[in-house]
A and B are shown apart, each in its own frame.
Chain A
Amino acid sequence: MTTAPYGAVTVEPFGDSAVMVTIPHPEQTIRRAAIVAFRDRFLAHRPPGVLDVVSGLESLLVEFDPLRTALPHVEYAARLVAEWAPAPTTGAGGAREARTFEIPVVFDDEAGPDLASVARELDRSPAGVVEAIADSTFTISLLGAAMAPMMDGLKVPRPVRRRAEPRTDVVPGSVMIAGTNAIIQPFPGPTGWRVVGRTPHTIVDITRPEPVSFAPGDVVRFLPVSRAEADGLDAGFLLPVEDRA
């Protein structure tokens, strides 16, 4: 886990039972990495009365019970954590080891209807875009809506734009990119991300006690496969490399 350099955090009240924590820094990449690091520390040293947290791209919403704690306590705890708390991975035991995922993906026009337009945007061929995705090593930064793994680490010459008109119904397993991020769609639904491929794996299985096998900090690589190879995989629930042996 990265230990991004950051100093003070900004803690803003948000209604009567939440605060929004952000990390002021002129560079976007540092703001984003720092808030992930902050989130891990804050959860590892969670103050009493804090009910849950919601990760944003550059912020952390901290929800608390105002009858068990009070705004100044939560704010103080956030500042303490930012300045003093060690990253949980450096703590004694306890922290979960990062896992590695190798995810087969079909990259063709049917599975990835935005592949061609992304290629034009980046002045590359569609095969070149697939190559860039396959050469990238992603780290899961947070779980987005419905536990979708949101990843950082796409190696492209410039950030990929979102769609001007969001798609209304993207199928589960769709691999999507925007900026230097990638995400996998776990359930049918709308998205403004660019759809470039599809994995045959089930990303989220709500019938399992633990509906996903990944967590923030895990490492992901995408392996291009043909449609026939994907069909032959009998893919099922996505598991990390460590659990497949």
Chain B
Amino acid sequence: MTTVGLDITHTGWVTTFQDLGRLGSEQLGVPTGGAADQHAAVVANLLAGNPAHATLLESLGGELALVPDADVLLAVTGAPAEVTVTGMPADTWTPLVVPAGQEIRVRPDTGRGMRTYLAVNGTLAAKRLLGSAAPDARMGFKQTVSRGDRLLLETEFRGFSRRPFEPSLFRLPVPVPRFDEDIWTVDVVASHGIHDIPGVRELIEDSVYTVTPRSDHVGLRLDGPVLHPDGDAEIVSHGVPVGALQIPHADELIVLGRYRSLTAGYPIVGVASRACLPLLGQAGPGRRLRFRWTDRETSVHRSAQRAAEVRTLAHAAAGAFAALGFSAPLSRTNREDILN
């Protein structure tokens, strides 16, 4: 195990330590939080030879850049991004070696997605709150990474017996999501609130919604047509799943994110499929969304397909690293890690 320094030479608009979020914290009033695009975060870690839940960096927009003081193995995933190592173009969604003293830069195309993930083989030193490095702004747990910071990494990576500028080392079955479509389609499972608003099901299905700049990690606020319930039935504070579609008193639709809290008084007409949550985590202001109603079985089936793809990648990556004489801690990657 060696300690490597990573000098942050530039950051995204916001760059933070991140992971898959807190387990068992919601019963303590703390939202699970964690990477907005969980799929990208898991895949970045697997491609870097880490367990799925390892601490990594999440950047919103901007241009993250860092210089390691020893060779490091890393991977960049998330929004489509321009990545360079020492000024030379490099690939996303694949393991990369960044040589000591050289700079890697990551600039997402924010027209197509908001967040990039950078995972480095090993363990990043970061503070934890309730077992997780994920930020929680409400509790003053910021986890922000700033220009000039020196991050510390414990890693067993000693370099491959290859030169860093040779073609990509790996041909792995990476499940790379597409961000090309002009209007993203989000599957939604209807929930009880839909019965209180006649016609809302058809209205939502037939409309296109636009993400507004008032969106954040608590929820995406969408411009588009909505209907309100007739009655004024009292809805007391209750928990809501991530991805819940809520209609507040104003004429907007809110899709709640991983930092949502209890909600009260507003009807919830549906919940986005688990398989679509990573896509929602990439949506930024101006993004147009269309909602498609789906049933629970189909929704779970899509989750299962996604999980199977990630499992396949985990096994292939473990095999590839082993063949190169590099034993990453992938054996610790279990189903629970990947699925959450």
Contact B300 A61 (CB under 8 A): no
Report the Cα distance A58→B24, complex, angstroms: 20
The interface residues of chain B lying within 8 Å CB-to-CB of A15 are: 189, 191, 241, 243-244, 270-274, 299
The interface residues of chain A lying within 8 Å CB-to-CB of B146 are: none
The interface residues of chain A lying within 8 Å CB-to-CB of B240 are: 14, 54, 61
Contact A67 B23 (CB under 8 A): no
Kindly state whether residue B296 has any CB partner on chain A within 8 Å. yes
Contact B339 A16 (CB under 8 A): no
The interface residues of chain B lying within 8 Å CB-to-CB of A65 are: 336, 339-340
Q: Write the nearest CB–CB distance from A75 to chain B, whole angstroms.
A: 12
Kindly state whether residue A153 has any CB partner on chain B within 8 Å. no
Report the Cα distance A18→B192, complex, angstroms: 13
Kindly state whether residue A142 has any CB partner on chain B within 8 Å. yes
Contact B237 A17 (CB under 8 A): no
Kindly state whether residue A53 has any CB partner on chain B within 8 Å. yes
Q: Write the nearest CB–CB distance from B30 to chain A, whole angstroms.
A: 6
Contact A144 B339 (CB under 8 A): no
Contact B237 A57 (CB under 8 A): yes
Contact A143 B339 (CB under 8 A): no
Closest to B295 in A: A16
Q: Which of B29, B238, B271 contacts A147 (CB 8 A)?
A: B29
Report the Cα distance A16→B186, complex, angstroms: 14
- Given A145-B29, A147-B29, answer yes or no on A57-B238 (Cβ-Cβ < 8 Å): yes
The interface residues of chain A lying within 8 Å CB-to-CB of B167 are: none
Closest to A210 in B: B130
When each residue 5-36 of chain B gets 1 if its CB lies under 8 Å from chain A and 0 otherwise, what string results? 00000000000000000011111111010000
Closest to B238 in A: A56
Q: Looking at the complex, which of B96-104, B133-141, B171-179, B279-287 is the stretch in contact with chain A?
A: B133-141
Q: Which of A17, A20, A68, A144 contacts B238 (CB 8 A)?
A: A20
Kindly state whether residue B239 has any CB partner on chain A within 8 Å. yes
Q: Write the nearest CB–CB distance from A56 to chain B, whole angstroms.
A: 3
Interface centre among A54, A56, A68, A142 (most CB of B within 10 A): A54
Report the Cα distance A16→B189, complex, angstroms: 7
Q: Write the nearest CB–CB distance from A237 to chain B, whole angstroms.
A: 15
The interface residues of chain B lying within 8 Å CB-to-CB of A14 are: 191-192, 240-241, 244, 268, 271
Question: Which chain A residues (1-44) contact chain B, with CB distance < 8 Å?
Answer: 12-18, 20, 39, 43
The interface residues of chain B lying within 8 Å CB-to-CB of A57 are: 236-238
Contact B138 A145 (CB under 8 A): yes
Q: Write the nearest CB–CB distance from A217 to chain B, whole angstroms.
A: 13
With an 8 Å Cβ cutoff, the count of chain A residues facing the other chain is 42
The interface residues of chain B lying within 8 Å CB-to-CB of A187 are: 138-140
When each residue 325-340 of chain B gets 1 if its CB lies under 8 Å from chain A and 0 otherwise, what string results? 0000000000110011
Kindly state whether residue A60 has any CB partner on chain B within 8 Å. yes
Contact B239 A54 (CB under 8 A): yes
Kindly state whether residue B262 has any CB partner on chain A within 8 Å. yes
The main secondary structure of chain B at its interface with chain A is mixed
Question: Which chain B residues (119-150) contact chain A, with CB distance < 8 Å?
Answer: 129-130, 136, 138-141
Q: Write the nearest CB–CB distance from A191 to chain B, whole angstroms.
A: 12
Q: Which of A43, A143, A206 contacts B29 (CB 8 A)?
A: A143
Kindly state whether residue B203 has any CB partner on chain A within 8 Å. no
Contact B239 A55 (CB under 8 A): yes
The interface residues of chain A lying within 8 Å CB-to-CB of B84 are: none
Contact A59 B138 (CB under 8 A): no
When each residue 43-55 of chain A gets 1 if its CB lies under 8 Å from chain B and 0 otherwise, what string results? 1000000011111
Contact B339 A204 (CB under 8 A): no
- Given A16-B189, A16-B274, A61-B240, answer yes or no on A54-B26 (Cβ-Cβ < 8 Å): yes
Contact A52 B241 (CB under 8 A): no
Contact B191 A53 (CB under 8 A): no
The interface residues of chain B lying within 8 Å CB-to-CB of A70 are: 300
Contact A54 B300 (CB under 8 A): no
Closest to A71 in B: B296
The interface residues of chain A lying within 8 Å CB-to-CB of B244 are: 14-15
Closest to B141 in A: A206
Q: Write the nearest CB–CB distance from A50 to chain B, whole angstroms.
A: 10
Closest to B304 in A: A67
Q: Write the nearest CB–CB distance from B189 to chain A, whole angstroms.
A: 5
Contact B271 A16 (CB under 8 A): yes
Closest to A53 in B: B27
Kindly state whether residue B246 has any CB partner on chain A within 8 Å. no
Contact B300 A63 (CB under 8 A): no
Jot down 30 A-B pairs with beta carbons below 8 A, ordered by A.
Answer: A12-B191, A14-B192, A15-B272, A15-B274, A16-B296, A16-B300, A54-B238, A54-B240, A56-B237, A56-B238, A56-B239, A56-B262, A58-B238, A61-B241, A63-B26, A65-B340, A66-B274, A66-B300, A66-B303, A67-B303, A70-B300, A142-B29, A146-B29, A146-B136, A147-B30, A204-B139, A206-B129, A206-B140, A211-B130, A211-B139
- 4 closest pairs, A vs B, by CB? A54-B239, A15-B271, A61-B239, A56-B238
